[in-house]
């Protein structure tokens, strides 16, 4: 075993590379089940420090045992993401969860237009979360209302954006990297970037590279994690 039973009880922070299509809860649930079975726990607290959408991959910080008390502190750390923004089309969810609802020509978008748009997303900005989000509105999750055909009005929030960079080599797909504060929705960043170009855009792919000092380069993927603990 990597840890003794006492070490697990005292609390550990696991760095996990979340697989594509898994929800963050899927990862938490699987890790809780695996650790309980491996160590013989009847109960074990397990939580994560920051949700990743099912269509995103990358770093999840999984707190185990008494380490769950530090989740709020961990969630407050800045995060770094990389991914792809697709210009020329929007979707209701701002990513690939839903089908394209509007298309736009991209022939008139120049390199200088894109760089000018990037500069609009530097520092403190106001951002409205996607309607397909877990934010509660009138006692229900916004995404539940959205899937029922409603368009809940969500309040804007102030978030910090820094080191936002894009690569245009695969236009109309833009490869990007961005550092941001807690509460930032990268799907909204992609959607708003399209609006800044008087066009449309949505998030094609997303990967969380780091949270504070923790890097996905040091994370275990789920296959490796399960092999370690289920083989014992």
Give buried/exposed letters for 29-41 (b at 16+ CB in 10 A, else e): ebbbebbeebbee
pLDDT of residue 181: 96
Percent of the residues in the chain that have a pLDDT greater than 90, as a whole number: 78
Give residue 14's pLDDT.
95
Residues 17-30 have a mean pLDDT of 96
- Give helix 24-39 / helix 222-230 axis angle, nearest 10°: 10
pLDDT band for position 146 (cuts 50, 70, 90): low
pLDDT at 131: 74
Sign, Cα dihedral of 98, 96, 143, 131: negative
Query: For residue 209, what pLDDT is reported?
Result: 98
C-alpha–C-alpha distance, residues 78 and 26, integer Å:
24
The per-residue pLDDT for 71 is 94
- Using CA of residue 201, residue 202, residue 204, residue 210, what is the dihedral sign? positive
Residue 229 — pLDDT band, cuts 50, 70, 90?
confident
pLDDT in tens, 91-121: 999 999 999 999 999 999 999 999 999 999 9
pLDDT confidence of 152, banded at 50, 70, 90?
low
User: What secondary structure, in 3-state letters, does the chain show?
Assistant: CCCCHHHHHHCEEEEEEECCCCCHHHHHHHHHHHHHHHHCCCCCCEEECCCCCCCEEEEEEEEEHHHHHHHHHHHCCCEEEEEEEEECEECCCCCCCCCCCEECCCCCCCHHHHHHHHHCCCEEEEECCCCCCCCEECCEEHHHHHHCCCCCCCCCEEEEEEEEEEEEEECCEEEEEEEECCCCCHHHHHHHHHHHCCCCEEEEEEEEEEECCEEHHHCEEHHHHHHHHHCC
Q: Is it the case that residue 1 has pLDDT exceeding 70?
A: no
Q: Considering 17, 53, 95, 192, which one is annotated as catalytic?
A: 53
Assess whether 53 carries a catalytic annotation: yes
pTM value is 0.92
Closest CA to 72 of 221, 222, 183, 184: 183
Q: What percent of the chain has pLDDT over 70?
A: 89
Token output for 130? 């996607």
Domains of the chain plus CATH, in order, are 5-76+214-230 (3.30.2350.10), 79-211 (3.30.2350.10)
- What pLDDT, on the 0 to 100 scale, is given for residue 211? 97
From 159, 156, 160, 136, select the one nearest 146 (Cα to Cα): 136
Bigger pLDDT: 2 vs 151: 2
């Amino acid at each position: 075993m990597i840890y003794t039973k006492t070490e697990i009880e005292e609390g550990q922070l696991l760095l996990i590379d979340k697989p594509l299509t898994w929800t963050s809860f899927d990862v938490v649930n699987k890790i809780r089940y695996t650790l309980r079975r491996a160590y013989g726990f009847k109960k074990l607290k397990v939580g994560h420090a920051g949700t990743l959408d099912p269509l995103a991959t990358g770093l999840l910080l999984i707190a185990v045992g008494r380490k769950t008390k530090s989740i709020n502190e961990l969630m407050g750390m800045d995060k770094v993401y990389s991914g792809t923004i697709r210009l020329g089309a929007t979707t209701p969810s701002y990513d690939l969860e839903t089908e394209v609802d509007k298309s736009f020509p991209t022939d008139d978008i120049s390199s200088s237009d894109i760089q000018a748009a990037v500069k609009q997303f530097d520092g403190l900005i106001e951002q409205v979360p996607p309607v397909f989000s877990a934010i509660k509105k009138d006692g229900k999750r916004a995404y539940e209302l959205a899937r029922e055909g409603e368009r809940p009005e969500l309040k804007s929030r102030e978030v910090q954006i820094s080191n936002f960079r894009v690569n245009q080599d695969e236009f109309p797909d833009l490869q990007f990297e961005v550092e941001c504060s807690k509460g930032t929705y990268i799907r909204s960043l992609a959607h708003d970037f399209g609006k800044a170009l008087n066009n449309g855009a949505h998030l094609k792919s997303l990967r969380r590279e780091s949270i504070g000092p923790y890097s996905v380069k040091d994370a275990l993927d789920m296959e490796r994690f399960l092999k370690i603990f289920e083989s014992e």
